[in-house]
Structure 1
C-alpha cells in the first residue's frame, strides 16, 4: 500500500513515540509498503511553549493538501494530536477520506501537569480529535480499557517492539568511562525526557543504597540537578552508548504515571536489567508475571525486589517483542479505501483541484 503517516513528533526529538514511528516505518518499507511521512521538519515551525525542543508546524495545511494529492495514499494514519495532526484530520474529514489515529501520550495529564487546564478538558479535546478515526490504536489493554471508559470508540491494539541486537547483555560497562569508577553500587538508572510529566523526582527522592543515574535531557534537568546533587545526570545518550547505560545498571527505575507504554522498559530488559515501576499504564501490562521486573505502589520496595531477579530471565522475556510484529499489527489496523473506490476518489479530487486552479 501507499501509506501516509502524519506526525508532530519526529527527529531530532528523541522519545518513545519517535522510535516507535521510525521503526514501524522501516519495517513497513521492508514489507513492501510505500511510506510518505508528513512531519515538522518539512515546514516552518515555532518552539512549543515550556518545551522548546519540540517544534510546532503552524499554517501547514495547504502544503499537506498538496502532499496528499501528489502521493494519492491508500491509507492515512495520524499519529499525534498537534498542529500537523489537526490539519491532516481536517483534510481527511473534508474529503471523506478514511484515516486511523493512535494514542501515544496521556495528553490530558501531560497538559494538566504543565498548564492550569483540567484533565477533563483535555479528554474532551482528545475525544473530539479521535472521534472520526476509523480505528484508534493503543499500546496496551489497560489503556484501551481506560479510553473506552472515557467514551472512546474503535480502540484497537498496536503492540511495541525492541531492537534486541542493539540492546543486549554482552555490552561493555560504561559508567567508569563517564567518571563513575568510584560510584557505589548498585546503580539505579532512569532514562528519558527530563520533564515534569515523567515524575523523575519520585525516583530521586527514594532512599536507596548506591548511585542514582539519570540519562536524558529536558526542561526540568537544571532544577533537578540543583535539588539532588548526589544523583548523576549524564545528559542524552544515543545508540550503543545508550544501550551500554542500560546494560551497566543494576535496576532500571520507571516512575512515570503518564506514559502509555514506555519503550525504555523493553530496552532495559533486553540488556538484562530488571525494571521497577509503579502500576501505571505500560508497566502494569508488561511486567506482572514476567520475572523481568516488579511493580508496586511503593517504588522503593519494587526497586529492592528487582535486585533478586535473574538477568538471563529478564533478557529472555524481552526477546518476545519484535518490531516486525509491531509493524504487521499497524498495517492490519489501517483502513484503506476499497480498490474500486480508490481510483475514482483521486480522479475526482484532481478534477476539483484543476477547477479551483482555473478559477483562481
Structure 2
C-alpha cells in the first residue's frame, strides 16, 4: 500500500481518500455538514472517497448526548474496510471509537494519517462533569500526536492547541452555500420583531441560556434539537422553539429573522455564523474563537463580553455587509485546503 509521504501528488491527480468519523449522517451538526460538503467537492474533482461512519455499525447512545450514536467494537470492520479500499490518504475526523480504530490500524501498519480538531472536547467534558481540562487535553493531545497534520478551522484554535502542547497544526477553513442561504422575504415568520435567532444544537455547551436570559424587544427564536431542548422550553416559555430544520426550510428561518445571536464559548468555528451572514443577518457573539476569527473587524457583527451589548450594537449593521463577508467563503476553497493538507 502506498504511503502518504510517497505520493507528493499534484492536486489534479485522482486520489483514494478514506475518512473515518464518528460524526456522520443522519446526525445533524457542523462536523457532518463540513464532511458532507467537502466530500461532495472532492468527488466532483474526480477523487474517490470512502467514509467509515457509525451508520455501518451497531451503536449505543453517547452518555449525556443520546442523539449521537457510538459504534460498538468497530475495529475489525474498520480494518477490513481500509484494506479493501486501499486508500492513498487516510483522514481521521473524530476521537471516538471509529476514529480510534482507524488510528490503531494506521499505527500498526505504519501508515501516515491526518486528523481534525472539530470540537473542543475538553471543554465539552467539563461542561457535563467535573473533569479537569488538563486531563482531557492530555488525552486528546495523545490521540492527535502521531498525525502528520492536525487540521483546525481558525488561527485562534490553532494558537490554543499550540499552547496546550499540540504540533503539526494546519489550517482548514469552512465554506457556506450562498445560493441556499441568501436574503429572502421576511414574511415567512409571523413573530414580533425584531426576531433574534439562534440555530444549532440545543445542548449545555452551547450556552443558550445566556441568549434566553437577555431582556430583548421582539422575539427570541431557537432552531435546533438536542438534550437540553425540553428543559429550556420549560424554563423559558416566552421563547419560541422551532425544532430541527433542514435545507430550504432552514434557509427560510435564517432569512426571515433580523439578527443572529451566537452565545457559544466553546465552538471551534461555527458554520451557523456563515449561514447567518449569507442570509443577511448581523451576528452578536462573545469575543471567543470562532466569532473572533470570522466576525472581528469585519463590520458584519458585534462582539462583546456583555452579550446584550453585542446584540444592541449588531442591530445597526447593514445586512449587505453581512452578505458580502459570507461571499468570501466557499466550499471549493475549503476542499482544496483539505486536499493540500492530506498530501503535505
Length-normalised TM-score, structure 1: 0.90
Once the two structures are superposed, what CA deviation does each residue of 1:52-111 show, in whole Å capped at 9, x if it has no partner?
110000211111111111110000000000000011001101100000000001000001
Q: Show the counterpart of 2:212.
A: 204
Q: Show the counterpart of 2:234.
A: 226
Q: Show the counterpart of 1:354.
A: none
8 A contact 1:134–1:335 mirrored in 2: no
CA distance in 2 between partners of 1:116 and 1:147 (Å): 21
1:39-78 to structure 2, matched below 5 A, reads 39-78=53-92
Moved over 6 A (4+): none
SS in 1 for 2:245: coil
CA distance in 2 between partners of 1:107 and 1:281 (Å): 14
Instruction: Measure how far apart 1:184 and its partner are.
Output: 1.9
Match of 2:51 among 33, 37, 50: 37
Structure 1 unaligned regions, length at least 5: 177-182, 337-360
8 A contact 2:270–2:290 mirrored in 1: yes
Structure 2 unaligned regions, length at least 5: 1-14
Residue 270 of structure 2 is aligned to residue 262 of structure 1: yes
Match of 1:129 among 143, 157, 167: 143
Match of 2:244 among 236, 239, 257: 236
1:1-360 to structure 2, matched below 5 A, reads 1-171=15-185, 173-176=187-190, 183-335=191-343
CA distance in 1 between partners of 2:108 and 2:265 (Å): 36
CA distance in 2 between partners of 1:59 and 1:195 (Å): 27
CA distance in 2 between partners of 1:50 and 1:101 (Å): 25
RMSD, matched Cα: 1.0
**Larger fraction in helix:** 1
SS in 2 for 1:290: coil
Report how many residues are paired: 330
8 A contact 2:184–2:252 mirrored in 1: no
CA distance in 1 between partners of 2:264 and 2:184 (Å): 28
SS in 2 for 1:334: helix
Instruction: Measure how far apart 1:172 and its partner are.
Output: 5.4
Q: Show the counterpart of 2:4.
A: none
Once the two structures are superposed, what CA deviation does each residue of 1:117-165 show, in whole Å capped at 9, x if it has no partner?
2111110011100000000000000100110011100000000000000
CA distance in 2 between partners of 1:71 and 1:90 (Å): 17
SS in 2 for 1:66: helix
SS in 2 for 1:325: helix
SS in 1 for 2:296: coil
Between stretches 66-75 and 162-171, larger displacement belongs to 162-171
CA distance in 1 between partners of 2:76 and 2:185 (Å): 48
Structure with bigger gyration radius: 1
Instruction: Measure how far apart 1:116 and its partner are.
Output: 2.5
Instruction: Measure how far apart 1:224 and its partner are.
Output: 0.8
CA distance in 1 between partners of 2:47 and 2:186 (Å): 37
Length-normalised TM-score, structure 2: 0.94
SS in 2 for 1:264: helix
Instruction: Measure how far apart 1:312 and its partner are.
Output: 1.1
Instruction: Measure how far apart 1:173 and its partner are.
Output: 3.4
